[in-house]
Chains A and B, each alone.
Chain A
Amino acid sequence: MRQMPRLSLDVPAIEVTDLRKQYGSVEALAGLSMSVGRGEVFGFLGPNGAGKTTTVKLLLGLARPTSGSGRVLDAPIGDLATRRKIGYLPELFRYQPWLKAREVLELHGRLIGLGSDRRRAEADAALGLVGLEDRADDVVGKFSKGMQQRLGLGVALLGEPALIILDEPTSALDPLGRVDVRSIVRTAAARGAAVFLNSHLLSEVEQVCDRVAIIDHGRVVASGPLDDVLGQSETQVRVTGLKPTDLPAIEPFGTPLLANDLLSIRPMGPDRVHELVALLVRMGVQVHEVRSGRGSLEQRFIELIARDRSMSGTPSAEKAVIQ
């Protein structure tokens, strides 16, 4: 894999404030504010219709905000020249089906202003990054969906962009392809590029992102480093024979909460589980099951969306579709 130069980390790659977008009577974005640093892999999550694609379109200048402001790579959002430094893999990855894979990359190389001497080399390098070097001279129309998505990823990586926006980058890939994408994303971030990752695969976001933002109804409901968003670690013990008066004895482990036969202690990681179980047994409590750790991003995501919707009065919070 090629070594890529580090880029300046001084200015955020993306900074938007109170971004709003109205489509007729529909408010797609209702005051979105967020910041993405250079060299950061940023996960952008939300249910269907939350405003993720609208945000991406505004960042790329494909749509204009109704109000609010933002800067991308230290230029106003939508700035034409800045798009030279942005790589984009759309959710609907479609490229001219009558072109060969290398020609698609050369075309995009031309559009971002690569000289004719560099275009071919950059196209071949991108094909190598996404594992399509053997299919460089095949017509895109004959590619499988997975191969087309790989090509789209190559297009997004062309010319070492300072910001890479990936919209569902693994939706058509097999598990091996997903591993490749994680590696590519990490490599790009290591050279200083910011990666804005829009994915419905929460486990994937967990594995690769430094920070996440969860949006619903066009605004951020939670954001920050993954550890903060996921919340504190928790240990849950299913017990019989534990009385509320016994709880003070458990407080050295964390704050205990007893609901029916479920004892929850926060914050408490798995490292002291054996001590807790020993204490409970000494207290004459029967221990049936112990679970310890942090909630998954998926659990946290559903919790946050449910809480946001109950606060805003939107029904069917539990049915929020994860995207």
Chain B
Amino acid sequence: MIAVARLTIGETARKRILWVLIGLALAAVALTAWGVTLLISAAQDAHASDLQIKLGVSQVLIFIAFQFGFVLAMTAAFLGSPAISADLESGIAQAMLARPLRRSSYLLGRWLGLSIVVVLYAALSGLLAIAAVSFVSGYLPPDPILPVVYLAGQALILLTFTIVLSTRLPPIAGGAIAVVAWGMAWLAGVLGHIGIAIGTTGLVGVRDLARILLPTDTLWQGVVFGLEPSVVINAIGQQQLAQGNPFFATEPPGIAYVAWAAVWVVLALILAIVLLRRREL
């Protein structure tokens, strides 16, 4: 498994994917810092209060996190979707699996290697963006590590999902399905917020069901909550309208949902192993 994981990380480096991701991350951080500087300057010109500036900066951070979450989802989907299927189509996997290498070790090795790449990318980009915003604005989220962990977790779930699909579907199909599923899960989360705002339990039920099927939205709530200043949460958190905002979270995701997200990854990997083992090569 470790040999396959090392091979996978080497593959992303040799194919320059790793370097492109790092370059994109640095560019995104530089643009974020520049944008926040402009925002603060405009807010100060308009004599905005510190609380208003803090709220504005945290909202910008959340929007950036959303965009970055989308980029991460795409990255995870397009790294994961060919991980198994392309190797099977080309015959590279058969040459390796004719060796004393279990299919489970091969699959877990591919997953582990890509997970390390995706998590490192999420951590590097997320922490750098938070540090850059803190540097130019003075605003640091209460626990800057937590939103990055949730962001990385979200990417990990999508990566795992695409690897499950990759055991049976061609790369493009797997990647497309994964991105659409991620978008639908996020949309279900938005519906849940609207449901809370207008008091419709049915919509909240849709969100909860989506969080069980693909728990990315659970972790998105964690990202949003982790980026908000505590003073803002205390001030407006209990207002029903605020709870209806998909870019606002009054509380972190429930422990049961977070635990389910971890269990979901394990179950998905077991499913992927079963699907690969049952496949005729």
Residues of A within 8 A of B (CB): 23, 57, 60-64, 80-84, 86, 88, 90, 92-96, 98-99, 107-108, 110-113, 152, 155
A-B contacts, CB under 8 A, total:
64
Query: Is the pair B281, A96 in contact by a Cβ cutoff of 8 Å?
Result: no
CA distance A99 to B100 in the complex (A): 21
Query: Is the pair A23, B280 in contact by a Cβ cutoff of 8 Å?
Result: yes
* 24 A-B pairs whose Cβ atoms sit less than 8 Å apart in the complex: A57-B281, A62-B98, A63-B281, A80-B102, A81-B100, A83-B98, A83-B99, A84-B99, A84-B100, A90-B91, A90-B98, A92-B91, A92-B94, A94-B91, A95-B92, A96-B92, A98-B11, A98-B15, A99-B14, A108-B95, A111-B3, A111-B99, A112-B100, A155-B95
**Interface check B275, CB cutoff 8 A:** no
Query: Is the pair A62, B100 in contact by a Cβ cutoff of 8 Å?
Result: no
5 more contacts with CB within 8 A, not counting A81-B100, A86-B98, are A92-B94, A95-B95, A111-B96, A113-B100, A152-B95
**Interface check B236, CB cutoff 8 A:** no
Known: A23-B280, A57-B281, A98-B14. A111 touches B91 (CB 8 A): no
CA distance A63 to B15 in the complex (A): 31
CB distance from B241 to the nearest CB of A (A): 53
CB distance from A56 to the nearest CB of B (A): 9
**Interface check B101, CB cutoff 8 A:** yes
**Interface check B90, CB cutoff 8 A:** yes
Query: Is the pair B100, A90 in contact by a Cβ cutoff of 8 Å?
Result: no
A63: chain B residues at CB < 8 Å are: 280-281
- B12 to A, closest residue via Cβ: A98
Query: Is the pair A111, B101 in contact by a Cβ cutoff of 8 Å?
Result: yes
**Which residues of B (3-47) have their CB < 8 Å from a CB of A?**
3, 7, 10-11, 14-15
Known: A23-B280, A57-B281. A108 touches B99 (CB 8 A): yes
Contact with A along B73-101 (1 / 0, CB 8 A): 00000000000000000111011111111
Query: Is the pair B7, A107 in contact by a Cβ cutoff of 8 Å?
Result: yes
CA distance A84 to B100 in the complex (A): 6
Across the interface, A80 reaches (CB within 8 A) one of B14, B15, B92, B100, namely: B100
CB distance from A22 to the nearest CB of B (A): 11
CB distance from B123 to the nearest CB of A (A): 25
Query: Is the pair A112, B97 in contact by a Cβ cutoff of 8 Å?
Result: no
A81: chain B residues at CB < 8 Å are: 100
A96: chain B residues at CB < 8 Å are: 7, 11, 92
Query: Is the pair A88, B98 in contact by a Cβ cutoff of 8 Å?
Result: yes
